[in-house]
Amino acid sequence: MRELTPKELQGFIDESMNNRHLPNKRVMIGTITADAQNRIEAICGRKVRDIDTDRSGVIHALKKADHNLEAEDLLLAVDVINTSTDIALSPDKNQNNDVLVFKKEIDGDITFLTEVRSGNGYLLVFNAWRQKKARSRRRPNATRRLQGAYVQNDSARDEP
């Protein structure tokens, strides 16, 4: 499998979000540096060399509003995996595979979850999220509108 360029990866992300009905497809998004391979092996005891993602992982990460992600954030996965020293082995498995959690500070904390597919020599990025960003000055107005909507819903329930 050939590694996608950042432009091709962006196209894959866009296609995944715009055509969610298409069959799942896995793509290679990068290779793991020797240093990162050593850090990963020290944590999970397995050697992996490539980084992949698939359509379902992209959709899962981006469709959830509480993940605070934009499509461009997924382009950071390879860099985070190759440079992060904050790596943990999750106690949970995903589809019977070990899960590694990679965290890094890039305009706020960003986290990537990967399945360790050591039999095939790759990590599969299947989820991601960002720490909630600080509210901008425009956000409080949106919050006030949202609170008003709750009040309207509550008062409508109280009416006979």
Q: Tell me the CA distances in angstroms from 49 to 10, 21, 23, 58, 137, one per residue in order.
A: 22, 30, 26, 21, 44
The answer to whether position 55 is within a domain reads yes
Which pLDDT score, from 0 to 100, does residue 131 have? 86
Number of domains making up the chain: 1
What is the spatial distance between Cα 2 and Cα 145, in angstroms, rounded to a whole number?
Answer: 48
pLDDT of 72 > 50? The answer is: yes
The 10s digit of each residue's pLDDT in 94-109 is 989 999 999 999 999 9
- Residue 29, domain member (yes or no): yes
Specify if 34 maps to a domain.
yes
Q: Is residue 97 a part of any domain in this protein?
A: yes
The pLDDT of residue 87 is above 50: yes
Q: What pLDDT does residue 146 have?
A: 37
| Domain boundaries, position 113 | 6-133
pLDDT in tens, 7-23: 999 999 999 999 999 99
Proportion of the chain above pLDDT 70, given as a percent: 82
Using one digit for the tens of pLDDT, what is the confidence trace for 126-140? Answer: 999 998 754 333 333
Is 147 a residue whose pLDDT tops 90? no
Q: Does 152 map to a domain?
A: no
Number of H helices, E strands in the chain: 5, 6
